[in-house]
């Protein structure tokens, strides 16, 4: 699991069929002290997160593919929880 902050929404004009209708977020990974860590990344969101939310991510691609019910989905990251402040 990884802590991150939602910095925006993203869209794709062309994407894999398994991602049709799925919501994608741009998030900034955070370290244990809440400071930015690494480059932003795209993650799947089935929880309805908003900009500024702190979220928990999973990088377990297999779990994400099960969430999407698509074994061939080219996805690694997904939001699995919203952190209360």
CB 61 within 8 A of CB 48: no
Tens of pLDDT along the chain (85 residues) come to 899 999 999 988 888 888 888 899 999 999 999 999 999 999 999 999 999 999 999 998 888 888 888 888 888 899 999 998 6
The top-level CATH class assigned to 2-83 is mainly beta
Enter the pTM of the model. 0.86
| In 29-72, alpha helices (H) | 61-68
Residues 6+ apart with CB under 8 A from 10: 24, 25, 26, 42
């Amino acid at each position: 699991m990884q802590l991150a902050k939602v910095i925006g929404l993203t869209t794709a004009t062309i994407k894999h069929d398994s991602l049709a209708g799925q919501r994608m977020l741009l998030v900034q990974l955070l370290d244990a002290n809440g400071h930015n860590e690494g480059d932003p990344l795209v993650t799947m969101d089935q929880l309805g997160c908003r900009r500024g939310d702190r979220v928990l991510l999973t990088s377990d691609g297999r779990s994400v593919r099960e969430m999407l019910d698509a074994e061939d989905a080219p996805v690694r990251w997904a939001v699995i929880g919203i952190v209360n402040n």
